[in-house]
Chains A and B, each alone.
Chain A
């Protein structure tokens, strides 16, 4: 018998959440969703969780298993077992309010998806046949199109844990679906909006969304694709873009990162408040002799690095 520890919550009966343990005889091949169903149907009918398709298509069965978001129907329970304790811990998704047991409130999640205007913007009159897409053009939006809105990425995003104004991985992956669409006419407008605070540049590269996403949508990579478009389109007036440009400039001129110029150039020379924020950490490091050498030493064979930049039109 294995132990399934489920986080229970029912505000009508009790204010706080608590863990309840169920003993289950795990069958080989059973998914975590099968196990939850078995508990609900045979042990405790009050257990509440979402599901529909049972085949990783509808996106409704997202939960945290052993602390990490996953689709309950996509993972076999025996592979989730903690070998030492012969148990699986099941909790509701993170970064969202819990309604009951494993059911969370997706309101904010959907509001953020709405915020990125998840529909094609094209005002021009339609051509005689269809607005065609070449296979190459489709490839740019193929991955982001696979999102099933399960919220696994949103649940585990490290930025959302500390700042709920961040649009978050799912909405940004959806945004890429349209930023990258050759038929969309609002690319510039989109990347401008997505470069605002709370948008693409607030992503901290933690990779949780890539790790948890059950589909090829993998938001972090989509976010980087939007960044590239934003930089290409000249949307440079923000710290994220300035940081990327300064970084590139430094590697282009020396093959390496110049840590002296990067912070200042990222803040922007006219951003007095931002520049002042750099002073305390700069001073602390200076006093400890922690500053990088003033004369930034380039890497060897610098000419070859410069040649590569040139060859790639950078």
Chain B
């Protein structure tokens, strides 16, 4: 077993906190791991990445060779595209769709989301939306790692334990917020993946997820939603046009 992950984002978005959670889970599970990070000038709002590798055997290179990345996990949609040439065939991109705009030539949102949706294996989550729902917009990094967590080789409870350790110093409230962000991200990521596998268009799944009550998101309902939308072409627009949020288990009701 070997897993190679490129964590991507913009300086200050907290990708090293994601690395903390996965590093500790890897050590806890008895794996070897190496995690190269970026310090210094780039941290001032520039593109940053961290190469995180774990395996059940010795790891040599701190950097992931091109063609060996299993996963690009990005807290920012433009940054998700920056490292795609490292992905092995069949590798996944898990990305936030919340843009961090600090450059003049930042691409149009539709173009960018279109590019991401065109990737074969991608999971897109609106991290700002879910982090806000969890109680703190800064918890987007934990939403992102939650969304990627089913692809990691650790129990959800182990990962959550290290989210707790990471924020323990900052008080119970932040621990709860970040764990909640993680769970919301996990549910949304699974819902996205299952609904897309069942035939729902990626950008439609993303739109639907924004409309669902975050706490109600249940990956088990993803197929039903995909089927209902396939049956009734106008359903998605009706749902999106309805007042307030929609509970995830309301599929038949809305239909």
Do A and B interact with each other, yes or no?
no
Chain A: residues with CB nearer than 8 A to chain B? none
